[in-house]
Structure 1
Amino acid sequence: MDADAGNGSVVHGGLENKVKPGKFPLTVWEVTVASGVVLGFVLGLVGLYLTMPASDYSFLKLPRSLQDLQILRDNLESYTSDYTVQVLVGYCLVYIFMQTFMIPGTVFMSLLAGALFGVFKGVALVVFTATAGASSCFFLSKVIGRPLVFSLWPDKLVFFQAQVAKRRERLLNYMLFLRVTPTLPNTFINVASPIVDVPYHTFFLATFIGLSPAAFVTVRAGIALGELQSVGDLYDFQSIATMFLIGVVSVTPTLMSSKSKS
């Protein structure tokens, strides 16, 4: 599979795969698109704030620790029953914004979903927002992400390009494997997929299905938030082994297909 010439390249099976790197600074159009997306989120949050009752909202901040999360949970519980729609919309806007712009801390948002809404509603909410946020990141990266990916993850991008080209016929299985296992960071997958020509429908399905196991583990832990000592407590050996097994099963058809052609 030949692509436009660039700085990143890899040789596989006698064919040279290259990804055009893009460059900084961004064009006026690219900056306008990114600024428009940020402005859209800001206006949404401001509009939401105006529908809430007058109160002290100093507790509203992105949680960076379990202590921050517990304070946020304790304060939001009183609003969740009376202002359910506003809390849901605000949660979705914040989670999708964090995913779109690769802001760390979505694991705390997943824990919060469990603490506020329970397992079933929490998992549905997290899978929806995680998929929407990843999709938003995908399309934004399609416009402005190329120079960013090359500057942050040049080696990973070359590896990812080669794997996508090699597994094109069973790409959904491979993308599911990446989502379920920690082979590549989810943030990298979101921003790099459009750069290496992963079709959006494949990206969407792999994200929606592949993130569900981790969402279940995290949301369930959020119900017993007070018992967690650290974020590392979320993933015990059984949870990690289960997700890895799911990943192996998802990629098996791809491996068998490659072996039969060799």
Structure 2
Amino acid sequence: MLPQWQAAAAAGPVGLVAVCVQSAGEELSRERVSIGNGLCADIPLYTSLREKIQYNSLFSRWTCCKRLKAVFIGGGVVIFHVISLSYIYTIFPAIDEGLKQHIKIPYNLEEAKNLGMVLEHYTEQYFLEVFLSVFFIYIFMQTFAIPGSIFLSMLCGYLFNYPLALILVCFCSATGASLCYLLSSVLGRYVAYKILSHRIPEWAIIVKKQEDNLLYYLVFLRVTPFLPNWFINIVAPIINIPLFPFWLGTFIGVAPPSIVALQAGKALYQLSTSTIGWTWTSVFLLSLSAALSLTPVLIKYRLRAKFE
């Protein structure tokens, strides 16, 4: 294969079209066709059958590579979650029959409190098992955009010390969002173009304008409630946001909102384990929670002023 054809194959269908146009001799006419990913190109109708066969062969190879990549990434993400969830199922200690009803993903405050009280009994003796269970389940929920992560963040504040809980929530949120990013890059691209084709070019232009401040802009999107997190995870690869800035921006950006959930979990723990309903300690913790809850608001306004 000639070097220019090899470079064109690496560049994708647009590169193939460019090389074919240059290498073709005389064109009878041009035909506008879709080449995938929401792109179109003018395909020349060649006078040389050999040139057309070369183009079709390279285009078929490029399409085959894209499909193999989709299978590899999609299958890898699914296999990772199957292995991780199977692992925590096998290592977790036996639960008393009367407590099994509380072992489920929490979707409200009461369920989070009941689950925290159950897991607290096992944390001292089986700390690693409990920690890994929360770790893998949190990533699973973020990957597939399953509701309830806010209550799982509260559970982290309930069970673990504050620095560990904050790092756990930030890392799991960033990693789960990145796995969702990868799935969207190979499986959700065509659906997104079909449903949001009129909005994607607008968002791509906005991201392009913030190219020099991309990390800060991603932090801004995570802190502010303008766009839901699952939506950002799906659209990010489509508008060509690189994976590492996406992960790092998510890790930093989810920290301020997580402060509120973690402090709520700490306050819930204090109220659930204290024999006296109100003490000076609990009052102090609730006051501290209220003060810390203002942190996301202050960061939000500072970031908004930067990007407006």
The TM-score with structure 1 as length reference comes to 0.75
Name the aligned partner's letter for residue 259 of structure 2: F
Provide closer, same or farther for how the CA distance between residues 151 and 83 of structure 1 changes in structure 2, counting only shifts above 3 A. Answer: farther
What residue in structure 1 maps to residue 243 of structure 2?
Answer: 200
Partner residue in 1 for 2:144: 101
Counterpart contact for 1:174–1:251, Cα < 8 Å: no
Question: How many residues matched?
Answer: 229
Deviations 1:114-161 (A, max 9, x none): 001132221111111111111111122211121343456556544422
Name the residue aligned to 1:190. 233
Pick closer, same or farther for the CA change 1:192–1:74 going to 2, 3 Å: same
Deviations 1:171-193 (Å, cap 9, x if unpaired)? 22221211111121111111211
* Alignment-derived partner of residue 245 in structure 1: 298
Aligned to 1:38: 78
Report the counterpart of residue 51 of structure 1 in structure 2: 91
Partner of 1:181: 224
The within-5 A match list for 1:198-237 is 198-225=241-268
Distance 1:95 1:157 in 2: 29
- Larger gyration radius, structure 1 or structure 2: 2
Q: Which residue of 2 aligns with 1:119?
A: 162
Q: Which amino acid aligns with 1:245?
A: L
> Does 2:173 match 1:130?
yes
- Give distance in 2, aligned partners of 1:237 and 1:74: 24
**Corresponding residue SS for 2:105:** coil
Q: Percent identity?
A: 36
Going from structure 1 to structure 2, the CA distance change for 1:32 and 1:208 (only over 3 Å counts) comes to closer
Give the counterpart letter for 1:71 in structure 2: N
Give, in whole Å, the separation in 2 of the partners of 1:241 and 1:159.
32
In 2, Cα distance between equivalents of 1:159 and 1:240: 33
> Structure 1 counterpart of 2:134, which letter?
Y
Amino acid in structure 2 at the alignment position of 1:98: M
2:177, 2:233 within 8 Å by CA — same for their partners in 1?
yes
Structure 2 residue aligned with 1:80: 123
Q: Which moved more, 1:165-174 or 1:70-79?
A: 165-174
- 1:115 touches 1:219 (CA, 8 Å); kept in 2? yes
Cα distance in 2 for partners of 1:29, 1:128 equals 26
Match of 2:208 among 162, 165, 188: 165
- 3-state DSSP class of the match of 1:224? helix
Query: Residue 131 of structure 1 contacts residue 208 of structure 1 at CA under 8 Å; is this kept in 2?
Result: yes
After superposition, the Cα gap between the structure-2 partners of 1:60 and 1:142, relative to the gap in structure 1 and judged at 3 Å, is: same
Asked if 1:20 corresponds to 2:57, the answer is no
Q: Secondary structure at the match of 1:102?
A: coil
Unaligned ranges ≥5, structure 2? 1-12, 15-35, 40-66, 273-288
- Counterpart amino acid of residue 296 in structure 2: M
Quote the offset at 1:64 in angstroms: 1.4
- Find the counterpart in structure 2 of residue 139 from structure 1: 182
Q: Is there any run of 5+ residues in structure 1 with no aligned partner, and where?
A: 6-18, 229-235, 256-262
Which amino acid is 1:92 matched to? F
Deviation at 1:107, TM superposition (A): 0.4
1:145 and 1:69, CA in 2 relative to 1: closer, same or farther beyond 3 A? same
Any conservation in 2 of the 1:178–1:247 contact (CA below 8 Å)? no
Give the direction of change, closer, same or farther, for the CA distance of 1:238–1:151 in structure 2 (3 Å limit). Answer: farther
Q: 1:144 to 1:182 in 2, by over 3 A?
A: same
Which AA in structure 2 matches 1:125? Answer: L
Change in Cα spacing, 1:32 to 1:58, as seen in structure 2 (3 Å) is farther
Given that 2:166 and 2:259 are in contact with CA atoms closer than 8 Å, whether structure 1 keeps it comes out as: yes
